[in-house]
Amino acid sequence: MRDLLRWSSGVAFVLTLVIWVANLGVYTGMTIGQDYAWRLEHGRLEVARRPGFYTNPRGFYLAPNSESPRWSFEGTNAGSGRWEVVVPLWAPLVFFALVFAGAGLVRRPDDRA
């Protein structure tokens, strides 16, 4: 189990890091139906619900981004089912690094020092 945890958290860390680095030069996103959307920009993932807002939903899009990374969490609840959550990608990077390191520190009773 420990090896699986180390391996999967290491892979997740590398994939998130690649997404973060690639996201610095572009932003991308997609609407999901007429109510939901996600977007990666400025090193952050945004997930939003805006009922009826996307009357002409866009599929997947990719565009240049010249702005610098943003580091903060954000969240809004505008009522009537409208909300938005923004998570900077450094947060999952820290989480995966801690899981990776923690899994390496845990020892089974039969492990030798």
Report the 10 Å Cβ neighbour count for 108: 7
User: Is the pTM of the predicted complex or chain greater than 0.85?
Assistant: no
Task: Identify the CA nearest to 13 among candidates 74, 89, 83, 82.
Answer: 89
In this predicted structure, what is the pLDDT of residue 105?
74
Tokens describing residue 76: 């809004």
In this predicted structure, what is the pLDDT of residue 109?
62
φ, ψ for residue 39 (rounded to 5)? -155, 135
pLDDT in tens, the chain (113 residues): 778 888 999 999 999 999 999 888 899 999 888 889 999 999 999 999 988 877 777 789 999 988 889 999 999 999 999 999 999 999 999 999 999 998 877 666 665 55
Amino acid at 72: S
Judged by phi (left if over 0) then psi (alpha if -120 to 50, else beta), residue 9 lies in alpha
